[in-house]
Amino acid sequence: MSLDPDYVVERRQLKRRLTFWRVVGIIAIVAAVVAAAGRFDLIAHRDHVARIAIEGLILDDKARDEALAEVAGDKKTRALLVKIDSPGGTYVGGEALYQTLRRVAA
């Protein structure tokens, strides 16, 4: 049983194209993983500036206080930018926010 020469040539070209696209796909996946690792600091946790936005009424908020405490405990955080967009709030909420920010600053 002999194979047609055109068939053999076509199969070789198909194998080359398939190998090319496999290599391109693998390179694309590796590039995406490296880009994601750099974007989300998956490789090495570097020094950074933390940002937090406080919006709406300033009330006594445990979740906000826990987030700020986490920033305070992170040794790689070098600074904290706080953006406050609030029409006001309660005395207790404002005082709690002030005390929490003072602990972060210390």
From residue 96, give the alpha-carbon distance in Å to each of 9, 45, 61, 83, 91.
77, 30, 8, 16, 8
pLDDT value of residue 44 = 60
What pLDDT, on a 0 to 100 scale, did the predictor assign at position 1? 57
pLDDT of res. 22: 96
Domain extent listing, the chain: 1-44, 46-106
Q: What is the dihedral angle through the alpha carbons of 40, 45, 51, 54, rounded to the nearest 10 degrees?
A: 80
User: What is the mean pLDDT of the segment spanning 68-74?
Assistant: 88
> What would the pLDDT profile of 9-66 be if each residue is shown by its tens digit?
899 999 999 999 999 999 999 999 888 877 776 666 678 888 999 898 998 888 888 8
The predicted pLDDT at position 50 comes to: 87
The Cα–Cα gap between 25 and 29 comes to 6
* Helical (H) or strand (E) element with 37: helix 5-39
pLDDT at 105: 86
Cα–Cα dist 104/93, whole Å: 17
Q: Looking at residue 75, what is its pLDDT?
A: 85
